[in-house]
Each structure stands twice: as C-alpha cells, then as structure tokens.
Amino acid sequence: MASPRRESRRVTASERIGLYTMLRVERGRLEAGLPGQFFMLDVPGHVMSRPFSICLARKEELVFLINPVGPATHTLCELQRGQTIGVFGPLGNGFRTDVARPLLVGGGIGVASLPYAAQVMGNPPTVLGFRTSRQAEAAELIPKAEVCIEPKLVTELIPASAVDVLACGPEPMLHAVHALAPDAQMAWEAPMACGFGACYGCVVEVGGGSRRLCVEGPVINGRPPSSPVIYDEAAEAAGAEAEA
C-alpha cells in the first residue's frame, strides 16, 4: 500500500460536470493509492481540510470530484489554474480489486470513487443511481455504466446472480446494497478532521466494536456500521459555515 505524503500542488484545471466540479491537481510525487482511498485537501481560508476520494489518476495529475454544498467545497470548486493547495494522502483502506465478478455500484456523489476503480479494474460492469438528470451527467466518467434516476433505485439494477459488489453512496443506499449483497465492499462517509485517526471524529460502531473510518475504512467489507453514518448535505453546509 502506498505511503501517504503531504505536498503543495498546483491546480491544473477546474471544470463542471453536471452539478459537480472536477478539480485537477498536479500529481508530483503523490501516489494515487487504491480505489476507495482518499486525500485530505487544504481549503484556502478555512482551518480544516476536507476528505475526497480519488476520482481519476493520470500520469501527471490527480482528479477529485467535488459536490459544492457548503463554503469549503464552494471554495475548492472556485479554485483557478495555477493556484496551490495542500494535498495529503492516500489515506484509509480502499477496495480489494482482485475479485472474480466485480460490479461497481454508486449513488449520487458516491460515484466519485468509482471512475478510478473502473480504470484500475478494466471497466467492469457498473450501475449508478442519481436523484436528478443534472447529477446523472457525472455518469459520463464511467463509459457504458447503466444509469437510473429516481424514483427508480440503483439497487433495482443489481442482478440476482452472484456478483462481487464494490459500492459507494449515501448511507440508506449502502444498507439496501448490504441487504442484497451481504459480502459487498462498501465505502462509508463520516465527518473527518485529520484523516489519520488522531481526532476520533469519524468513529462508528461495527460489529460491537469501534472503528475510525479514516484508518479502518472508509471501505468496510461485509457488515455495515451498526450506528448509521448519516451524510446530510445541509448539516455539512452548516458545519462549514461555523468553521468559516
């Protein structure tokens, strides 16, 4: 597994894709790590960094998909080519990609970690679910993905035959995926302040024990957190306002 590094990197581009923004930064000596791992990005004018899954890895750059829901994420989405930010990673546990019958399952901004997984795994079958057609524009990051928009649910696209599911999305979706595929690898979300286990801000209960999602996740195999991790965009925005 790649060792995390902290480097200052220049922004190479920022482009919209539906409701989201693709932020591209110079790769430098940073390793991309495993699909499902994440990086902490410093936010100009804010005290706390923010965690983002690696979306794509190129020879010269790393790409992050950002949902602008609060002041910090809006700031990142407004960065211009040539500006510099701190980047720390890769962090956490990623997906196991050496599975026999892979199926990538994503919901909403959870699609962010799947283009890199598809890149590493040779574009396996992928199903994606979104609330709106604007969000669904991000599906173009994974060619040939099967896409649905509410009221149809992405779990309706999971075949009845045995598959090895790698999933990332909102917490209710992951619980539904777990009900269909108990051994699925699932990337969970939680508020993270440090990214390396020091602050204990992302602790969840799993199987009667406590786990720090930033170091023992975000990918958890087979069993979901027993204390649900609820990702609330409005709450994130409110928290970011408080930090500003």
Q: What is the DSSP letter of 3?
A: P
Mark whether 84 and 106 lie in a shared domain: no
Domain enclosing residue 152, as ranges: 102-221
Q: Note the pLDDT of residue 64.
A: 98
**CA separation (Å) from 203 to 7, 119, 199, 234, 239?**
27, 30, 9, 21, 18
Q: What mean pLDDT is predicted for residues 190-197?
A: 80
43 and 142 housed in the same domain: no
- Please report the pLDDT score of residue 41 as a whole number: 97
125: cis peptide before it, omega within 30°? no
* CA–CA separation, 145 and 65 (whole Å): 17
pLDDT at 30 over 90: yes
In angstroms, the CA 124 to CA 189 distance is 24
Q: CA 89 to CA 57: how far, in whole Å? A: 13
The residue that leads in pLDDT, 159 or 234, is 159
pLDDT tens digits for range 132-183: 999 999 999 998 999 999 999 999 999 988 899 999 999 899 999 999 999 9
Indicate whether 48 and 133 sit together in one domain. Answer: no
Which pLDDT score is estimated for 33?
95
What is the per-residue pLDDT across 197-232, written as a single tens digit (0 to 9) for each?
888 778 877 767 788 888 888 898 766 655 444 444
Domain shared by 56 and 163, yes or no: no
| Helix, strand, coil share (%) of the chain residues, nearest 5 | 25, 35, 45
Tokens 């750059």 map to which residue? 61
Instruction: Decide if 235 is inside a domain.
Output: no
50 & 121 share domain: no
In a domain, 75, yes or no: yes
Q: Is residue 242 in a domain?
A: no
* pTM for the full predicted model: 0.88
Same domain, 148 and 199: yes
**Residue found under tokens 């199903």:** 127
Based on the fold, state whether residues 86 and 145 are members of the same structural domain: no
pLDDT at 235 over 80: no
Q: Are residues 114 and 205 in the same domain?
A: yes
Residue 234, in any domain of the structure? no
Position with higher pLDDT, 11 vs 233:
11
Judge whether residue 120 has pLDDT over 70: yes
pLDDT at 26 over 90: yes
pLDDT at 238 over 80: no
How do residues 34-82 score in pLDDT, each as one tens digit? 999 999 999 999 999 999 999 999 999 999 999 999 999 999 999 999 9
- Residue 98 Cα distances to 34, 95, 164, 166, 177, angstroms: 12, 9, 10, 11, 20
Q: What's the number of domains the chain is made of?
A: 2
Residue 56, H or E segment: strand 56-57
Do residues 162 and 100 make contact, with C-beta atoms less than 8 angstroms apart? no
Q: What is the CATH number of the domain that holds 161?
A: 3.40.50
DSSP string, 111-168: GGGHHHHHHHHTS--EEEEESSHHHHGGGGGSTT-EEEETTS-GGGGS-SS--EEEEE
Q: What is the pLDDT of residue 214?
A: 85
